[in-house]
Chains A and B, each alone.
Chain A
Amino acid sequence: MIEIDHLTRTFGNVTAVDGLTLTIAEGEVFGLLGPNGAGKTTTVRMLAGLIGKTSGEALVAGCRVGDPATARKLRGLVGLMPEEAGLYPDLSAARTLDFYGKLYRVPSGMRALRTERLLTMLELWDRRDDRVRTFSKGMKQRLTIARALINDPPVLFLDEPTANLDPEGAKTVRDFLLQLKQDKRTILLNTHQLAEAERVCDRVGIMHKKLIAVGSPDDLRGTGSAHATAIQLAVVTDAVVAAARAASRADVAVSGNTMTVPVDKPERDNPELVKAIVAAGGEIQFVSGIVPSLEETYLKLLDGEKNDGEKHDRVVR
């Protein structure tokens, strides 16, 4: 549904997006993670047909990005929720959706139906005739999602949909995103809320001008960050620590009755480790894996990217 091949955008001497290559399948929810200024918004704007590309190619729903001949068609096939709500404070919720529906050439009857359905799903139907200026931030954010869906687009771009929302508002939006996922819509979600990406996305890509890593949240957790095994014993003796150190060939941290042992591959290393500890007289009570969080992975990858500037694309599939 979305095919991006070495997509690049520069503004003067500044490269905002650098050779982005990525494929997003139909019905997939893809999260683009990255700090401010990583090029996420520029990427979405290019893919939504709002701004041009400097080089590279991209196809969105069969339309070539940057081709003036198909730009109008492309904009009609995608829904965009920009970072800023950009609502008209003096229009009502229903009038807002009607306005955008008309611009997307949605027939009158269909417009009314979709307006009712979307506003109901997003818990705004009772406030449909109220001016947007009377809405809370969360309500405005929900209305911008409804606006992005008024043309029932097969491809949806969401730029920081839960930014600046309180936890309750963010949860409502996230729950709706999960509902959208059931519709088999292709969604590109820009976010720096890692928990959100983890919950909602099938795959995530970590971006800093270019794609640093891509994979499922589970896959990415193992990228760039070490696993560890926590072993709780009845008593931690010097012999047990020495055995664990010898088996793992790594530094062992001890805290109370728990040892934390770094391991490369838990499924391969843990049995050896357990055997060695038992052989040294250790009485094991619990063994648990410590998986790095997506946040740790994200920060480590970004840190590495910033520090060494190496041109590497770690691709996990």
Chain B
Amino acid sequence: MNWQNVVTIARKDLTVMMTRRSLRIALVVLPLGLALLFAQIVARGNFPADELPKTLNAFLFFFMIYTGALPATIASYSMVGEKVERSLEPLLATPATDGEILLGKGLAALVPPLLAMWAGMFVLMAYCDALTHGTLGYLYFPNWMAAVAVFGFAPLLAIMAVAFSVLWSARVSDVRTAQQLAALTAIPGAGIYIALLSGAFSLDLASLAVMCGAFAVVDTGLAFAARATFHREEILTRWA
């Protein structure tokens, strides 16, 4: 693996993506807007002190689910966009390997949304701390659960979205359809949310760790599938 190629491809993709105003807006507005919205709900909800930890955990979790579609949206541009522009052939003609191209594109799709998600989470946590410190008598964030959510669950969700996008890319020929399919990335999170509401399990550190483990297994499988799909010959002879 030539990391210079990976970085070169990732930087090129980032440059191209950041020229799109809609993506720049999505990266800033969605995480920040959701953070401020959830904080406002906490501020106006008059939640009793014993309800607050559960509420804050739920908001942090919802935040991840909602923002989890961002990497898929960006990956759609990265993969399907290249397909639409017919720019994959010259890229595949370079000495870069399939794995380097895939990883470079994956990183470009993963890093900006992940940073945006983290930034939004930190805003959400800091704002909620400021709002609830008086009621709780202590700063609820940071805590272990938040750490696992931010540094474990969020990246795993993002990786899943990107891997899904690579798999769709083989069958989709326009960015709009790919973005619509990106919404499917929210299904696992929505499923977990419904399971939480139905009382199948409660959102605590242990259950979050189990979810992370399950997502890690799924992500590994998806990453292998994506790697198998992203094959030079397949791309040139069947993706078109």
Write the residues of chain A forming the contact surface with B, with a CB cutoff of 8 angstroms: 11, 45, 48-52, 72-73, 75-76, 78, 80, 82, 84-91, 95, 99-100, 102-105, 131, 144, 147
Interface size on B, residues (CB 8 A): 26
Whether A91 contacts B15 by the Cβ 8 Å rule is: yes
Give 9 closest A-B pairs by Cβ, nearest first. Answer: A84-B86, A86-B87, A103-B94, A90-B19, A80-B93, A76-B95, A86-B86, A102-B8, A82-B89
**Cα distance, A91 to B13, chains bound together (Å):** 10
Whether A84 contacts B97 by the Cβ 8 Å rule is: no
A25 nearest CB across to chain B (Å): 23
**Cα distance, A37 to B70, chains bound together (Å):** 41
Whether A87 contacts B236 by the Cβ 8 Å rule is: no
Contact of A50 among B16, B97, B236 (CB under 8 A): B236
Whether A45 contacts B85 by the Cβ 8 Å rule is: no
Q: Smallest CB-CB separation from A82: which chain B residue?
A: B89
**Cα distance, A78 to B95, chains bound together (Å):** 10
List 26 A–B pairs whose Cβ atoms lie within 8 Å, in order of A's numbering.
A11-B237, A50-B89, A51-B237, A72-B95, A73-B95, A75-B93, A75-B94, A82-B89, A82-B90, A84-B89, A86-B87, A86-B91, A87-B85, A88-B16, A88-B85, A90-B16, A90-B20, A95-B15, A99-B8, A102-B4, A102-B5, A103-B5, A103-B94, A104-B95, A105-B4, A131-B19
Q: Mark B86-108, 1 if CB is under 8 A from A, else 0.
A: 11111111111100000000000
**Cα distance, A72 to B100, chains bound together (Å):** 12
Whether B8 contacts A50 by the Cβ 8 Å rule is: no
A51-B16 contact, Cβ under 8 Å, with A86-B87, A102-B4, A104-B94: no
Check: B232 CB closer than 8 A to any chain A CB.
yes
A86-B233 contact, Cβ under 8 Å, with A72-B95, A72-B97, A99-B12: no
